[in-house]
A and B are shown apart, each in its own frame.
Chain A
Amino acid sequence: MDLKHIRNFSIIAHIDHGKSTLADRIIEKCKLVSSRDLVDQMLDNMDIERERGITIKSNAVTLNYKSRSGEDYIFNLIDTPGHVDFTYEVSRALAACDGVILVVDASQGVEAQTIANLYLALENNLEILPVINKIDMPTADIEGTRESIKKILGLDPSSAVPVSAREGTGIDDLMEKIIETIPCPEGKQDGPLKALIFDSFFDKYLGAIIKVRIFDGTVKKDDQIMLFSTGKKYTVTEVGIFRLNLEKKPILEPGDVGYIVAGIKTVVDTKIGDTVTGGLLPADKPLQGFKDVKSMVFSGLYPMYSDDYENLKDALYKLRLNDASLMFEPDNSYALGFGFRCGYLGLLHMEIVQERLEREFDLSLVTTAPSVEYKVYLVNGEKLTIDNPVKLPDPGMIERIEEPIVDASIITPSEYVGNIMSLVTDCRGLHKGMEYIDQNRVQLNYELPLAEIVFNFYDKLKSYSKGYASFDYEFRDFRPAKMVKVDILVNAEPVDALSFVVHEDKAYQRGKDIIEKLKNIIPRHQFKIPLQAAVGQKIIARENISPLRKNVTAKCYGGDITRKRKLLEKQKEGKKRMKQIGSVEVPQEAFLTVLKIN
């Protein structure tokens, strides 16, 4: 296929504006699957994606389309996530494209991630085709949406295609518009291979499979390839494209989006953003890759059963092959034993990583409270970067602590502005500006400590705005803040995994809340268990768990001894899920409560 008949594009949108449904319609138009095999969210393969109705991973598919003029085209469509946590995933997908479809919901209008995604596309110099979706909804406001496409996004409103992905309206026009608007790829057939790795995944039988966009040159079976960043060489065993499953092809050519299998076993070698080039005839320069991903949120991840450490390690490596944004390093907690300190893009990312580890690798995990990264300046002039509260030095050694601040943008119907302002003020936000983006909606701009966002901000924002506010943020800088570490002591022993860093004004309340929760979670023991929250040596909150005074089955006959034994066996199973802190048994739940205080 000549390059003029290839279109590589991605669909970007705010979460829930209908990306995946639109992708389903486009796939349907290209008759990739018979209607019998159609399922919703065709490109979302993971159970988690289908259950939550969200896209986490980018997914690619090659489609054949016959235009109205009768010409055959190849569309390489890449579906992308919409949640703020996965911006990085979107930017990778965009690097493999020549243009994007920017979907805007006709009732919701432009939202925070619509704008964030637009910027990503502009940074990548991509052509943008706006689409107004959900025009079948009674609340749809097509003209108003056109207006904000012009006013907020600065795009030509007359180019916007109105569609209903749900009902299939307007899709034919959209298909033609894709050919017209999205530029065809450019590239040289001859010369050294240059292919961009935009994703990779692990297959039990084939090893690491890399997803590439070919910019120059070709690649086929038995070719020698080299990965630019490591200089390691491999022999290609298979190339192909993405249909619903992998489809073998004799060769991949410029403009193609496909996969390469080359017996790559070490997962760490397939670095996302790296360039694949010829092993015999390498290119002299790699393609422009991606910025290294930056973790925003950190937490400890420990196996519930200590003999699962190796399994957890193995699972994390495998997961990282599919998720380059997941960072981890070995960590050791006094309370929880051997585990890992992990870095995530955000809270949703953290949740999803944990869920995938438990589901796909059958692990039971204990997670510690999420933390952000702090810059700590010591009196002796040293400077530390700390993402684990446990590692925060003694207050006496600290000259100052700086915390990460983000630029946050919140778009909300104007009636919730008051609510949101008080929420943001409570979260130590600095008001930067407010702008009416249309008659009813306002964009609020804040500088906000990331630590506050990590602590339930998103949930609160949703409840303060009845679900209407949307939110996006970007790292800005580090600023001094009066942060303190709160230690939790169980039976006078500090439990490192429960420590957290918080602004000093909030230390007392949060310490008290946690102690109260723990009181209900830790079972009574034969002795009194004091629970304390402390900042340095100072106790800021205290509770006691009273001792168990009586624990005896009064009536023990009737001959059903099997049942009684089985109760003991069940108790033993339950105990395996307890962590021993000194002489106190603490249920796994306790470590999660710190995450869930309102």
Chain B
Amino acid sequence: MNYGLYLHFPFCRKKCDYCDFFSIPLEPESSTVDLTGAYLKRLVSEIHERLPGFSDGSIDTIYFGGGTPSIMEPEDASAVIEAIKSTIDIHPGSEITLEINPEDVRREKLEGFSDAGINRMVLGVQSINDRHHKTIGRASRVCSPQVLEEFFGYGDISRCIDVIIGIPGQDERELSDELEILTGFRPDHISAYMLTVEDGTPLSVRLDTAGLDSFQREAFKTAISLLKKQGYSHYEISNFCLDGKFSRHNMKYWKHRPYIGIGPSSHSFYGGRRYRNDMPLEFYINSDKTELEVDERTSGQEMAEYIMMSIRLVGGISLNEMEDCLGDVMPGQCFERFVAMKERGLVEIINKDGACRIRLTEEGLFLADTVIYDTVEPLL
């Protein structure tokens, strides 16, 4: 069994206005060494505590997410990776990813991380336009041409970027220009997320969302066609890659494959159950046992999750694959909902060589949540 491993680093220098993830702002940075140090120590102890339980398999993807994990020093990343190696097999050729912020793009740091074993870095660009950064309240500094050159100039690793599209005030021309510049660096992978205004965030208070959906639909359309033109394949709603270099780690979420999450507010999925670590940070750091909440799912809920995640892949859901994975076929009332969606032009149902595949149409991509809700409703 191959597992994905997610390591959570819940600290940022400063919190962005649109973020509703669990993270703790560290200001000023000098006072943070103790906290992050204690945290990383505890993270290593959780690795020793939990990973030996997975001796039936090995790890083939590792993902440092956050927060801002690039705040870590390369030595810290190295210590964590060494700890993993000492408890479980890491598959040769594993994908080892780190999310990195522009502030941390420095030659020595890139080299250090790479030496630690990291072979894929995702740069949080979001937008290279200062005005758009301000609109969404991005705390990090704007990626300057120098930062981009530094990042893409470093050759040994797979370099990827995250961008945010559909920011109010970002017209079609600006968006195209931005994407042209960024694709010019030929990142292996681009995640292009439409700005989501989450309730309770500072952004939700100041941003007027009237008409945002039509605007974002157009932005999304623009991004898809531009990225495709630049040779990127659109493989998941918000994800694009060159030459089959999709995110192997994230693919585990979409394809119902097992993964282990380490750290507070991380999630795990193995042995048919989902787990979450709900421990408050202080509590986690000062404990020596990791407590996890278990989510027992009915077979209907399990299939609902499978559909909800895998329909996001542009290739769609293979019903054979789903049956192999869940040991269950799609019930008729659920399939009928897909047929109704087909009539509304939101999905295609492709029968080929005795295999059936269901995928979103372009219109379906824009309304994926509608499709998901309507089709999984009978399973809930």
Q: Which residues of A contact B (CB under 8 A)?
A: 526, 548-562, 564-565, 568-569, 571-572, 575
26 A–B contact pairs at CB < 8 A? A526-B367, A550-B216, A550-B220, A551-B367, A551-B369, A552-B369, A553-B368, A554-B195, A554-B237, A555-B238, A556-B237, A556-B238, A556-B309, A557-B254, A559-B267, A560-B267, A561-B308, A562-B274, A562-B295, A565-B297, A565-B301, A565-B305, A568-B304, A568-B308, A568-B380, A575-B377
Contacting residue for B193 out of A554, A572, A575, CB 8 A:
A554
Complex CA–CA separation, A553 to B195 (angstroms): 10
Contact, CB under 8 Å: B261 / A552: no
- Determine the chain A residues whose CB is within 8 A of the CB of B151 once the complex forms: none
Complex CA–CA separation, A559 to B257 (angstroms): 11
Contact, CB under 8 Å: B373 / A571: yes
- Determine the chain B residues whose CB is within 8 A of the CB of A557 once the complex forms: 250, 253-254
0/1 string, B338-380, CB within 8 A of A gives 1: 0000001000000000000000000001111110110011001
Place the interface of chain B in its size category: 35 or more
B114 touches A (CB below 8 Å): no
**Nearest CB of chain A from residue B127's CB, rounded to whole Å:** 15
**Who on chain A is nearest to B295 by CB?**
A562
**Nearest CB of chain B from residue A574's CB, rounded to whole Å:** 11
- Tell me the B257-314 residues at the A interface (CB within 8 Å): 259, 261, 266-269, 274, 276, 295, 297, 301, 304-305, 308-309, 312
Contacting residue for A559 out of B217, B261, B312, B366, CB 8 A:
B261
**Who on chain B is nearest to A570 by CB?**
B380
B65 touches A (CB below 8 Å): yes
Contacting residue for A552 out of B237, B266, B344, CB 8 A:
B237
Contacting residue for A554 out of B196, B259, B266, B267, CB 8 A:
B196
Complex CA–CA separation, A571 to B196 (angstroms): 19
**Nearest CB of chain B from residue A555's CB, rounded to whole Å:** 5
Contact, CB under 8 Å: B238 / A559: no
**Assuming the A-B contacts A559-B266, A568-B376, are A552 and B366 also in contact, with contact meaning beta carbons closer than 8 angstroms in the complex?**
yes
Contact, CB under 8 Å: B238 / A565: no
- Determine the chain B residues whose CB is within 8 A of the CB of A549 once the complex forms: 213-214, 217, 366
Contact, CB under 8 Å: A555 / B377: no
**Nearest CB of chain B from residue A523's CB, rounded to whole Å:** 11
- Determine the chain A residues whose CB is within 8 A of the CB of B213 once the complex forms: 548-551
Contact, CB under 8 Å: B259 / A559: yes
Q: Which residues of B contact A (CB under 8 A)?
A: 6, 21, 65, 191, 193-196, 213-214, 216-217, 220, 237-238, 250, 253-254, 259, 261, 266-269, 274, 276, 295, 297, 301, 304-305, 308-309, 312, 344, 365-370, 372-373, 376-377, 380
**Nearest CB of chain B from residue A129's CB, rounded to whole Å:** 61
Known pairs A550-B194, A559-B267, A572-B380 / 12 extra A-B pairs, C-beta < 8 Å: A549-B366, A550-B220, A550-B367, A552-B367, A552-B368, A552-B369, A554-B237, A556-B238, A559-B268, A561-B308, A564-B305, A565-B301
Complex CA–CA separation, A560 to B267 (angstroms): 6
Ranked 9 nearest A-B pairs via Cβ: A559-B267, A554-B193, A550-B213, A552-B368, A550-B217, A554-B194, A549-B214, A551-B369, A562-B295
